[in-house]
Amino acid sequence: MNLSGNKLGDSGVKHICTLLKNPNCKLQKLLLSDCGITGEGYAALTSALKSNPSHLIELDLRGNDPGDSGVKLVTDLLDLLNNTECKLKTLRLLKSDAEKACDYLTEALGKNPLLLTELDLSEKKPGDSGVKQFCALLEDSHCKLQKLKLNDSSITEEGCDALTSALTSNPSHLIELNLSGNKLGDSGVKHISALLRNAHCKLQRLLLSDCGITGEGYAALASALKSNPSHLIELDLRGNDPGDSGVKLVTDLLNLLSNIECKLKTLRLENNSVTEQGCVALASALTSNPSHLTEMNLSGNKLGDSGVKHICTLLKNPNCKRQKLLLNNSNVTEEGCAALTSALTSNPSHLIELNLSGNKLGDSGVKHISALLRNPNCKLQRLLLNDSNITEEGCAALTSALTSNPSHLIELNLSGNKLGDSGVKHISALLENSNCKVQRLLLSDCGITGDGCAVLASALRSNPSHLTELNLRGNKLGDSGVKHISDMLQNSNCKLQKLLLENNSVTEQGCVALASALRSNPSHLTEMNLSGNKPGDSGVKHICTLLKNPNCKLQKLLLLKSDAAEKADVYLTEVLGKNPLLLTELDLMY
């Protein structure tokens, strides 16, 4: 029976379903392409075929639209093909070009893309030709993709043109598009801007970092978002350069935030040549519409103390709901830090992440932050202050404040500061506090020796159950320090998953201690980095033997100094069936 091209709709299909349910119905071929059938009709067909599956061998539903619940409905139909009682051999949902695209993606992914709501091809590097191949599928109404990840995929303006053209014809389901790390340029972004202008476009997250976008592309984006501002909640433009007119263009983007219809929650303008002038525009725009933006990333810009002071005006606004504030590498000194913490102290309850890394805060700056941390309304969970010229004095003030209000913090990054063993002793006092819930502790390149490590490990033994990551790379722990860490690892309450100890002068002796500890409590650690040490032959053997333990959960073990050496190690292990670090002779002759 061929009823293709008629306006049957769901009501018409339901009449056909009554026929299909009849046990005397012997219909083998049913063609219903382009009949205006939606999800209701698909559900009715599936139900009818389940109740009487034995005769129909071909069903054609091309050119119909199953609607928002399309993935589930298509899944139910495809499941019929696996039903032993069902004789259905051919289910046509896609027109020829889309069918080819579906086959291409099924081969690349090992899954039917019609059954997916998220498509990640970032590791496949499809390039322009690959993107063009699957665009026909994106245009089809049966495709209900919500997230499309094509970052670092060797796509240029040509592929971007094809992609946005396809998405413009079927735009209403996609909520996330990641094209970061591709050479789109301004011409590619103009195609994306055309998609954003589409009234049916519901895109919420648009990631375009490191795409070679200049002022012209910024202008196109700002114009597009003015015409259709209501859905986008995250825009990532990190690593692009708006050029000489950058301040004005960034200002135009920021002025979008004053639009009452703008729902942008995450704004990432890292390394975008934003100066004090841009901060003025940002503060002005957000003061008139402060309630939606929850994450602001202005890292890597030349804001200076004066720029930060403008942002502080915004932060004092009681309607400001900022949860994440990232200002690392922004030329902020103690003066800017004082203004910032004063503003946050007056409205502290929303902020959960503060990143001021790479600024010259010094101990005096950290003391201002410490005053904020003492505020009982402060709910900060992540505090990143690496490379901030902090010494033992600042560390003492910081940990004292956190000891008085420790229960929210889950990540503390003080790497690259000259804390030394005395600074670590202050941190250890914090870790011993039973209310301390720190999960990630990063102390790389802090001048810690075996003595400091002993105090740290002792503190973690007394309160071990929360810490999942410990980063001590680039210190002077030596074997004595590693032995203290090994004692901690033996504690059955230790939940550490990631341990980073590269460049710590660890020898065979330290490796033996680590291996012994992990044999007695192997079940949690998933990553360990010992690169840049001198484990010797027996040290490598002891560590590698761990991997044979069935209870060992190690997924990533790094022993070599460079990424190239690690890749070579993986390659040779694949070829030989043995880890080459355990060999004294290597034979690759065929």
Tell me, what's the pLDDT at 587? 54
Q: How far is CA 232 from CA 154, 175, 281, 474, in A?
A: 25, 9, 20, 42
Q: 253-285 burial by CB neighbour count: b if 16+ within 10 A, else e? A: bbbbbebeebbbbbbbbbbbbbbbbbbbbbbbb
Under 8 Å between Cβ of 149 and 178: yes
Q: In three state form, how does the secondary structure of 411-422 look?
A: EEECCCCECHHH
Domain hosting 577: range is 562-590
> CA Rg, the chain, in Å?
29
Domain annotation covers residue 70:
yes
Tell me, what's the pLDDT at 107? 84
Amino acid present at 85: E
Domain boundary residue among 66, 93, 120? 93
User: Cα separation of 235 and 296, whole Å?
Assistant: 10
Domain annotation covers residue 334:
no
The total number of structural domains in the chain stands at 2
User: Cα separation of 380 and 323, whole Å?
Assistant: 9
178 beta partners: 149, 207
Domain boundary residue among 63, 93, 123? 93
- CATH number for the domain spanning 58: value is 3.80.10.10
Domain annotation covers residue 284:
no
Query: 362: left (phi > 0), else alpha (psi -120 to 50), else beta?
Result: left
First-last CA distance in the chain: 62
Domain boundary residue among 93, 116, 131? 93
User: Cα separation of 564 and 555, whole Å?
Assistant: 19
pLDDT along the chain (590 residues), means of 10: 94 92 89 92 88 83 82 76 76 84 83 85 87 88 89 94 90 89 95 91 92 91 82 88 66 64 78 81 72 84 92 84 91 95 85 95 96 91 97 96 88 97 96 92 97 95 89 97 94 91 95 91 88 89 83 83 54 58 52
Could you give the angle at which helices 39-51 and 9-21 cross, rounded to 10 degrees? 0
Domain annotation covers residue 219:
no
Domain annotation covers residue 23:
yes
Domain annotation covers residue 115:
no
Tell me, what's the pLDDT at 398? 95
Domain annotation covers residue 81:
yes
User: Cα separation of 108 and 124, whole Å?
Assistant: 8
Sign (positive/negative) of CA torsion 491, 495, 497, 503?
Answer: negative
Determine the 3-state secondary structure of 382 from DSSP. strand
